[in-house]
Amino acid sequence: MSANGPVPLIKTLRKVLLLSVIAIAGLAAVTFVADYGILQLRIASGRNPYGSVTVRHYYAVGEKGNKTEYIFDPPQEQTCVNSLFPHGGDAPCWYLRRHPEQRTDI
C-alpha cells in the first residue's frame, strides 16, 4: 500500500507489460549481436560461414478473369549464411532449406 492507498491494478499491469516488452526487445538485440559476432568469428577462422541452397523461383502474373499465369525460372544455387538471422544481404540457410520455392507476384 502507498500513502494514498493501494496501487491500482491497471498501473501495475502496465508496468509489468512495459518491462516485459523492454526485456524481450533487449533479449532480441543481444541475440542478434551474438549471432553476428559468431558469424564474424566463423568468417575470420574460415569455419563454414556460408552455404548454398537450390532455390526455385517463379513469377505469378495476374490476368483478366481472376486467372494467374505462372512463369518458372530454372533452379539456381543461392548463397546463404549459417546463422540464426540474415546478415550481409544473405538469408539464413535454415530458412532457405524450409522455403526453397520463392514466388514473386506481378
Alpha carbon distance 79, 61 (integer Å): 27
Whether 45 maps to a domain, the answer reads yes
Residue-wise pLDDT tens digits, 58-92: 999 989 888 999 999 999 999 999 999 999 899 99
Whether 51 maps to a domain, the answer reads yes
Secondary element (H or E) of residue 96: helix 93-98
Whether 1 maps to a domain, the answer reads no
Alpha carbon distance 13, 20 (integer Å): 10
Joined grid coordinates for residue 56: 526455385
Whether 2 maps to a domain, the answer reads no
**Spatial contact of 72 and 58, defined as CB atoms under 8 Å apart:** yes
The number of distinct structural domains making up the chain is 1
Model-wide pTM > 0.85: no
Whether 56 maps to a domain, the answer reads yes
34 pLDDT more than 90: yes
Whether 36 maps to a domain, the answer reads yes
Percent of the chain scoring above 90 in pLDDT: 78
Residue 97: give the domain boundaries.
Answer: 9-105
